[in-house]
Structure 1
C-alpha cells in the first residue's frame, strides 16, 4: 500500500487497523514534508474505508520520532527560502489528527520530540513503554513548542506543560502518565501482542485497557506538586525569580534554573504567551496562532543561531539576541502573534 513518502513511511491495512510506520530509523524518524503528505493521503483513504476502525502509528528503531528535519529547515532558512509549506501542511495534519473520526493509537517506544509529538498527542490515546523519552526542547534551539504545543501543553495539570515548554526536560513514561501525556503504558515486549489484538478487534478502548500494564514500569520521578508551585508565575521572569528563591533549598530548583538560563529568552517569552493564550483556544485556532509565530521565527535570528550552535557546529554556544529575559520587550513578543493577513493558515477540513 503506497500513499507516497519515498520509503520514509510505510502503510498497511491489517484486519481492523490501518498501520502507519515511520521508517527513517537512521534519522530517528524525523518527519519531513513527504511523510506529512503521505500520512494525510492515508487518512483520506482510511476515513471512508469500512475495514479500518482505528489507526496504529509507530516508529522503527530507537525513536518514535525525534522531531522535524532540522538540518533541512536550517539550510532553507539560511538560503532565504524558509520552508513555510512544510509547516503549513504539518500543522494542518496535526489539527486533523485532533478531530479524526477514527481513533489513532500512537505506540511510543523510544524518543518522541517536536514533530513526533505533533502526530501523537492530539488524539484520544497515547501508549508508552519503558523506552519512551518525551520532550519539547524547542526553546533551547531558538524555536518554540509548536505542532499544537499551545493546545496540549497548556491543558496539562499543575503547570506541568509550562515546565516542559520552558525547560525542554526529558521525561519517561511514569511522569507522562502522571501528567496525562500518556494514557496507557506497557513493557515494550508486549507491543506486538497489543498490535495483533488491535488488528483483530474493532473495540479500541477495550483492547488498550486490557493490555495496559503501567504497574510494570517505573513510577513518576518528578515532584509534580513542587513543579506546580515553581511554575505558577505570571511571566517567565516571575518563574525564574521563584526558582531563584527556591534554589538554595532545592536541588531540583537549582538545576531547573540553570537549564532555563541556557535557553533563548525570546523563545521562552513567546512560549509562555502561547500557552497562556492556547488554553482558551480550539486546536485549529492554536495552529493558526502557531503558524503566525512560525513565520516570524523563520525570519528571525534565534532559530538559525540555535540550530547552528546545537545541531550544525555542535558547540552549544548560541548567542541569543537579546541575551537577557528582562530585555525582551512586550512589543517584540506581540509581533510574533500579529495576524498574517492573506497568509493566514487556512484549509481546516473540520470545525474545531
Structure 2
C-alpha cells in the first residue's frame, strides 16, 4: 500500500477526515492503487464515530483530478483493467451513499473520474479555475463513474450535449449547471479550509457547513458565450432532445449556424460506437438510481475491455502514440447497429456483476446522489 499512501494522503483535522490527492505530475489521474485506497479509507471513516465529515482536495492548483489513468488501464491485462473500473465504481457508490457531509474542493481541472469522486457528494466547491469535462467519446469510451446518473439530471439537454461533445465548462458554468454547489474564489480556498476545520462540534452539521461555504461564495453568473447562456441552452434543448445520435446530427445540420457547425465538428471526431452507447446510457440513467447506473456502466466497460474496442484504439492514437485521429470500428454511425449496442448492455454472469457497498444510515441498498 506504499504507493497508494504516497499518491493519496490522509489526515484528521478535529472531526474531519481529509483526503489529499497527491499525484500532481499526472494531474492526479486515478490509478488502481488510489481508488482502492480511497474506497477503503472512506469505508473506515463512514464507520468511525469520531469522523463527522469528509473533505477531499488536491495537492496542486492546476488540477483536482484529470480523470482515470486510462493510458495505464489500456496497457494492463484485460482482467486487471476491469478490476480498476470495478474498484473505481465501487468508490463512486460509497460516496453516493455516504451518510456524512462530504466536501470536494474542485479547484482546477476535473474530468471523467474526477467527477466520480466529487459530484456524488453533498458539497461541491468550484473556483474560477475549475474546468469540467466528460471527454470519453473522444477516446472511444463513454461517460462513466456514475455520469449516466448525474448528466440527465442537468438542465434541459445539457447532459446529453456534454456526453456527446466533451464540451468543457468553466467556473461559474459548472455551478450554474448544478455540477458544483458553490463558487468560491481560489484565493479564498485556504480561508475556507481553515473555517471548515474550525467548526468544532458543528462539523457534522450540514447546515453549518453550508453557511460556512456560502459566506465565502460569489454569484455564479453563466458565461454569455457558453452552453448555459440562454441562446446556447435553447439550441442544445432543440437539437439534443432526440433518442438517436443520427437524429441529433440531422437536427444540427438543419440548424446550420456557426454553433451547430462547431458542435458537429466536435462530434464527428468521436467514436460512433461510443456516441451511441453514451446517448443510450444517459437516456436510461434518467430513470435509474445511482447504483443501477453504476451496475450498468460496469457491464458496458467490461464488454468494452473484452472486445477489440475503440477505447484501446482511441487512447493509443490520441494519448500514447499521438499518431493522429483514431481509426474507429465501426467507422460510421450507420454501421453501429442496434444489435451491436444491445450487446454492450448485456448482463454479466452473476458472479461478475458489480457489487456495491452501502454505507447509508438506512442501508437501502441503493446509493443516493445529492445532485
1:309 pairs, out of 294, 313, 317, with 317
Asked if structure 1 preserves the Cα contact closer than 8 Å seen for 2:137 and 2:166, the reply is yes
**Helix, strand or coil: the match of 1:7?**
helix
Report the equivalent of 1:321: 329
Aligned to 1:282: 289
Q: Which runs of 5+ in 2 are unaligned?
A: 367-371
1:308, CA displacement in angstroms?
1.1
2:251 aligned residue (223, 231, 242) = 242
- Distance of aligned partners of 1:263 and 1:193 in 2 relative to their CA distance in 1, 3 Å threshold: same
* CA–CA distance in structure 2, aligned partners of residues 3 and 216 of structure 1: 43
Bigger shift: 4-13 or 122-131?
4-13
Indicate the residue corresponding to 2:113 in structure 1: 115
Is contact 2:73–2:84 with CA below 8 Å preserved after alignment?
Answer: no
| Structure 2 counterpart of 1:25 | 24
Q: Which runs of 4+ in 1 moved over 2 A?
A: 48-53, 79-82, 214-223, 347-350
Match of 1:89 in 2: 87
1:333 is the counterpart of 2:341: yes
Decide which of 206, 211, 214 is 1:209's aligned counterpart: 214
Query: In the TM superposition, what whole-angstrom CA distance separates every residue of 1:85-142 from its partner, at most 9, and x where no partner exists?
Result: 1111110110110110111111011110111111111112211001110000001000
1:3/1:42 contact within 8 Å kept: no
Q: Is the Cα contact below 8 Å between 1:173 and 1:220 reproduced in 2? A: no
Q: Which has the higher contact order (CA 8 A, sep 6+)?
A: 2
Given that 2:15 and 2:51 are in contact with CA atoms closer than 8 Å, whether structure 1 keeps it comes out as yes
For the Cα contact (< 8 Å) 1:36–1:90, is it kept in 2?
Answer: yes
Structure 1: tracts of 5 or more residues without a match:
none
- In the other structure, the counterpart of 2:226 is 221
TM-score, with structure 2 as normaliser:
0.89
- In the alignment, which residue of structure 2 is the partner of 1:73? 73
* Root mean square deviation, CA, Å: 1.8
Pick from 258, 265, 283 the counterpart of residue 272 of structure 2: 265
| Preserved contact between residue 187 and residue 217 of structure 1 (Cα < 8 Å) | no
State the TM-score, normalizing by the size of structure 1. Answer: 0.94
State the match for 1:124 in structure 2.
122
Contact 2:175 2:220 in 1 (8 A): no
Q: Give the direction of change, closer, same or farther, for the CA distance of 1:5–1:153 in structure 2 (3 Å limit).
A: same
- 1:53 Cα deviation after fit: 2.2
Cα distance in structure 2, aligned partners of 1:31 and 1:267: 22
Name the counterpart of 2:55: 56
- Kept in 2: contact 1:186–1:216 (CA 8 A): no
